[in-house]
Amino acid sequence: MFSDFQTTPYKYLNGIYSQFALFGLFAIVVIAVPESPAWLCDRGRHEEAKKALDRLVGKVEGYDIDHEYTVLRQQTESSRDLTQSHGKSDWAALFRWINFKRCLAATLPFSYQNFVGTPLVFGQTTYFFQ
């Protein structure tokens, strides 16, 4: 085992290089996926948003794109109105107490996994199963 490492010390790089293949596949998927109808609606590009919505779910039988887009547009406008009524939304809003509590509630479970050793346990499972 160690003699193989001595003759080919850069063999570990194959695992790193293989990640570029996964990135290439991901890039193809990102190019093929349409922009979000909600994002387009928020920017006022309504016809493009309807086309994106049609591309995503237009083939479903009985699906009413106009009704769905009307709901989406109302939600977008009410969200924009809510944001404007509370002032400009920015990164500083994250550090207000109510938003900070929400941020902690959303991120702590994932952070605790690292502190309690989940990566260590899963990293050793191959040795365990051998």
Strand segments (E) across the chain: none
Question: pTM for this structure?
Answer: 0.48
Mean pLDDT (the chain, rounded): 82
Q: Could you tell me which residue, 38 or 125, shows the higher pLDDT?
A: 38
Per-residue pLDDT at 2 exceeds 60: no
Closest residue by Cα to residue 48 from 57, 38, 58: 38
The pLDDT confidence band at residue 40, using thresholds 50, 70 and 90, is very high
Provide CB contacts within 8 A for 37, sequence distance 6+: 49, 50, 52, 53, 56, 69, 72
pLDDT at residue 30, rounded to an integer:
83
Which pair of tokens denotes residue 101? 């509590």
- Mean per-residue pLDDT, 57-64: 84
Express each pLDDT in 66-99 by its tens digit.
Answer: 999 999 999 988 888 877 766 666 677 777 787 7
Average of pLDDT values for 117-124? Answer: 80
